[in-house]
Amino acid sequence: MKKGTVIKSTGSWYQVLMESGEIQECRIIGKLRLEDLKTTNPLAVGDEVKVGPDEEGRGVIKEVMPRSNAVIRQSPRRKRDMHLIAANVDQAMLITTIVEPNLKQGFIDRFLLMTEPYNIPTCIVFNKADLYDDYALETFQILKELYEGIDYEVLLVSAETGGGIDALHDYLKGKTTLVSGQSGVGKSTLVNAVEPNLDLRTGDISDYTGKGQHTTTFAEMFPLSFGGSIIDTPGIKMLAFNNLTPLDVAHNFRELFEKSAECKFGGQCLHKNEPKCAVKIAVESGEISPLRYMNYLAILDDVENQNAWEIHEM
């Protein structure tokens, strides 16, 4: 069998970049032995696989190599299952914007909850800087200080003017990067600005809904001429977490987890109504962002309600 990397998944067929440099169309026959994950898709872009021929000489994926990490979300269609977005990434890049469409700040924290469990370094990129008025720039500065204060990298860029593109180029160079964002934030336009040869399909904001329109249908890996590669993903509308427990949520808000060492109940504290909770005290004093804390409580409520519903259904 020969080794390769999955570079595109369309659901039933996979494009695999073989070690020889050849791209081979492959499919799966039978069930693969994978990690103990109930997923809607057995393979993700970035998976390293072993390929052999079938009776007609076509490529068949026979084995999936152990993953160094995976980015996983709750399936938007099958609520009890998970969906693999990508595997074996060096880092992630979340593209967002303050305007057109308007910022949904809670989405940033939900995205970070996908990458944090695997310690995947994540950069938050604010696009469309050329459209920012004074209020939008002030909002960006507040968020920049917030996320840099908890050791996330933050960039301000404009695909339109080229501002910040050099910094983005440096961030991507030599790494395998998952690139994601909500629809309409200019993800494909921004990637094209960094690597014009890719010529990814772009779309506009819907005049009727004010929301972005999907331009990427399937996740796909693209090599970068200056070294490294990106995994471009479909725009994400929402994120939920049926794979997490309440403590998982608490432990993956990094500044809350660090402060929990001072809580009366330590790492078992959910920072809601527990006595002598150091996190709540830090929020009241401004040491921990009230904005992040409110997003934490919203996600925690989602997870607790979902778990209660599933127990009731059993």
State the DSSP code for 73.
E
* Structure confidence at residue 45 (pLDDT): 95
Distance from chain centroid for Cα 46: 14
CA distance to 65, 82, 234, 243, per residue, from 36 (Å): 14, 11, 25, 12
d(CA 85, CA 82): 10
Pairing of strands 229-232, 122-127: unpaired
**Which residues neighbour 224 within 8 Å (Cβ) at sequence distance 6 or greater?**
172, 173, 194, 195, 230
Give the per-residue pLDDT at 313: 33
Domains for the chain: give ranges and CATH numbers: 2-67 (2.40.50.140), 88-232 (3.40.50.300), 246-313 (1.10.40.50)
Looking at residue 307, its pLDDT comes to 57
Residue 171 has a pLDDT of 97
List phi, psi (to 5°) of 173: -55, 125
Mean pLDDT, residues 111-135? 96
- State the chain's mean pLDDT as an integer: 87
pLDDT of residue 36: 58
Question: Please, which pLDDT band fits residue 309 given cuts at 50, 70 and 90?
Answer: very low
**Which pLDDT value is given to residue 235?**
72
Is-cis flag, bond preceding 101, omega within 30?
yes
Average pLDDT over residues 289-300: 96
Residue of 283, 177, 187, 167 whose CA lies nearest to 235:
187
**Residue 308 — very low, low, confident or very high, per pLDDT cuts 50/70/90?**
very low
Whether the per-residue pLDDT at 215 is higher than 70: the answer is no
Higher pLDDT, 201 or 257: 257
Residue 245 has pLDDT above 50, yes or no: yes
Closest CA to 276 of 293, 297, 259: 259
Q: C-alpha angle with apex 115: 122 to 68, nearest 5 degrees?
A: 105
Residue 34: the pLDDT is 52
pLDDT over 70 percentage in the chain:
87
Q: What is the widest separation between alpha-carbon atoms in the chain?
A: 68
Grade residue 240 by pLDDT with cuts at 50, 70 and 90. confident
Q: At 188, is the secondary structure helix, strand, or coil? A: helix
H or E element that contains 298: helix 290-313
pLDDT of residue 207 exceeding 90? no
The answer to whether the beta carbons of residues 86 and 71 sit under 8 Å apart is: yes
Q: Report the b/e string of 63-82 with b at 16+ CB within 10 A.
A: ebeebebbbbbbbeeeeeeb
Instruction: Name the amino acid, one letter, at 65.
Output: M
Question: 32 pLDDT band (50/70/90 cuts)?
Answer: low
Tell whether the model's pLDDT for residue 40 goes beyond 80. Answer: no
Q: At 288, is the pLDDT very low, low, confident or very high (cuts 50, 70, 90)?
A: very high
CB-based contacts of 197: which residues, under 8 Å, 6+ apart? 225
**Is there a contact between 158 and 166 (Cβ–Cβ < 8 Å)?**
no
Distances (CA, A) of 145 to 142, 150, 151, 274, 295: 5, 9, 10, 29, 17
